Structure formats: structure tokens, C-alpha cells
Amino acid sequence: MIGSESAAGSQAVNDAYRVCERLAAAHYENFPVASHLLPRAMRPHVAAVYAFARAADDLADEGSLSADERHRLIDDWRRRLHDCVGCSPAGVRRDGIGERDQIFVALGDTILRCRLPVSLFEDLLSAFRQDITTHRYETWDALLDYCRRSANPVGRLVLRIAGYRDDALDLASDGLCTALQLTNFWQDLGRDWRRGRLYLPAEDWKDCGATEAELDQRRLTDGWRCALERAATRTREFFFQGRRVCDGVSGRLRLELRLTWLGGMRILRRVEGARFDVFAHRPVLGASDVPALLWGAITWGRAGHGSTGSPWPWAR
């Protein structure tokens, strides 16, 4: 009887991980999640973390529901997070179980096996709750606190899945994750504005003489370019901080993080190259970028990777 329960539990977990991997493959922004560059043993766990975060983000962004209803959904997601910790999947029925139930079967196993701090998942959920009602940021301090909870926990979770528990690596990972999220904000400024969101801190765009009315007219004026230039400079500083995590890990994860770093910098440079007019064109990565990024990852550190930053051709 014990053996059959164990087999059933193992099958339930495997099924749940496959659901998470399908979700990860189907939903990504600039970079594939749990890609084949990651060590094979890491991929299911990274997919489980991503599926949890992606689904929670979708709950917070459910525009047809009221803010109170979305808060209740996030509260329920938090309850399910705590319920899944330490739960055995042996009794899970495989017939009729929902996709979101499968996420927690996989996540509970990942948290147990990789000894992941639940507090990092709590940080993610607090950021998703904030998304429901906060659509503007007055200061950089406020925006960076949001990044601390919405982006940085993912990097720390990936490090722990890989077996790293090091304060210096955590801080470097925070720099990379914040840089990637900020780049995505500038890349998506036009899209976000149409949804009523603006992540560029008001202390900068007001100081540059920009107005929200100009965004309503889909106009990237000198004032907005001034503010975005400042934002890009800050973002690049976070990228340089984040380089240390690319050098501080080993094996295939090192290559994955180098590619992630180079890809993020490539998008930032394209946003700058377009003079920040993301209303006219939203820069993205495509298949044609892969050879240059791979070459940059392979030749990493041989030339041009100083802390002050040079315009590497593979990051353009």
C-alpha cells in the first residue's frame, strides 16, 4: 500500500511538472524560461516557480474583476502557497485536477527539494497585490522597492535551485533582475501607458518638463527623452552590478546568465538607438540575434567587458 501511494505521488508530481513546463514554454517575454541551456535537473523547478508567479500575476491583472475581488484571489493564492508546503502528493487525483492545482503540486515538491524560502514567494505576491492599485511611481526609491519584490526574488530562487546560497551572489543577482525589469518597463512604455500604467518615476519626468498629456498624444518629446535617458543610465548601472552573478556561477547556468545579461543590454541599447520612441517601434529579440548573443557569451571577458562598459557589438 505504501509503495502504491509512493508511485501515485511520484506520477502526480511528474504530471504537475509537465504542466508547469508547458506554461513556461508558452509564456515568456524577452527570454525563454527554463530553457535547454539550464542544467536539466533545474528546469522543472524553475518552471514551477515561473508558473506560480505567472499565474499570480495574471490574477492581479484580471481587468474584468474589481480590485477587491483581485485582492481576494491573491489572498487565496497565498493560502494555497502555504498549504502546499510539506504536503504529500500521494493522494492527488490525476483525473480532473485543474491546471492551477497542478502548479501547487509541483511547487510544493520544489520548495521541499530545493529548500526554498517561502518569504521570497511572499515578496512576489506583495508586488502583485501592489499592481492592482498602484499604477504610478513618484520616486526611484518607490520603484526600486517594487523591483526588489517583483523581480529580485526570482533570481534568488534560481540561485537556490542551483545550490547557491551566497550573499554576494544574491546582491549581484538583484542587480541583474532589477536591470531586466527596468529595461522591460522602458521597452513597454507605450503598451503600459495604454493600460493606464507608468513606471518611469515622476521625480524625473517632471524635472525634465514632460507631461502625461504628451503620452496621450503618443508623442516622445524632448522632455520624455530626457527622463528616459536618465532611466537608461540608471538601468545600465544595475546591469554592471549584475555582471558579477554571471561570473560567480559555473557550468551551464553561467552561459544562461551571460546570455540573459547580453540580451537585456541588447534591448536597452535598441531602445536608446530608437531615441526611446517605443510608440513607433517596440524593440524585441529574435532568432537573428542568437548568433551574436552566443558569440558574446562564449567570448565573455576576453574584450570590452570592463566595469565601465564599452559598446560591445553583440549587445547592440
Q: Helix (H, G, I), strand (E, B), or coil: what is residue 158?
A: helix
Indicate if 204 and 88 belong to the same structural domain: no
Residue 53: half-sphere exposure toward Cβ, Cα within 13 Å: 26
> Residue 286: phi, psi to the nearest 5?
-140, -175
Indicate if 144 and 121 belong to the same structural domain: no
Residue 310 DSSP code: -
Indicate if 120 and 246 belong to the same structural domain: no
Query: What's the total number of domains in the chain?
Result: 2
CATH of residue 172: 1.10.600.10
CA–CA separation, 81 vs 165, rounded Å?
22
pLDDT 10s digits, 100-126 = 899 999 999 999 999 999 999 999 999
Amino acid at 171: L
Among residues 104, 133, 162, which one ends one of the domains? 133
pLDDT higher at 96 or 157: 157
* pLDDT exceeds 90 at position 96: no
Indicate if 233 and 308 belong to the same structural domain: yes
Name the pLDDT band for 25 (thresholds 50, 70, 90): confident
Lowest mean pLDDT among 42-51, 135-144, 167-176, 288-297: 288-297
Indicate if 72 and 140 belong to the same structural domain: no
For range 201-223, the mean pLDDT: 95
The residue segments making up the domain with residue 116 are 1-133
* pLDDT exceeds 50 at position 93: no
Indicate if 63 and 209 belong to the same structural domain: no
* pLDDT exceeds 60 at position 94: no
Indicate if 202 and 55 belong to the same structural domain: no
Indicate if 182 and 84 belong to the same structural domain: no
Indicate if 88 and 142 belong to the same structural domain: no
- The burial class, CB within 10 Å (0-12 / 13-18 / 19+), for 206 is middle
pLDDT at 267: 96
For range 242-258, the mean pLDDT: 95
Indicate if 126 and 146 belong to the same structural domain: no
Indicate if 193 and 106 belong to the same structural domain: no
* pLDDT exceeds 70 at position 27: no
CA–CA separation, 172 vs 55, rounded Å?
27
For range 7-20, the mean pLDDT: 83
Among residues 105, 133, 161, which one ends one of the domains? 133
Other C-beta atoms lying within 10 Å of the C-beta of residue 36: 9
Other C-beta atoms lying within 10 Å of the C-beta of residue 101: 15
Indicate if 214 and 87 belong to the same structural domain: no
For range 153-167, the mean pLDDT: 97
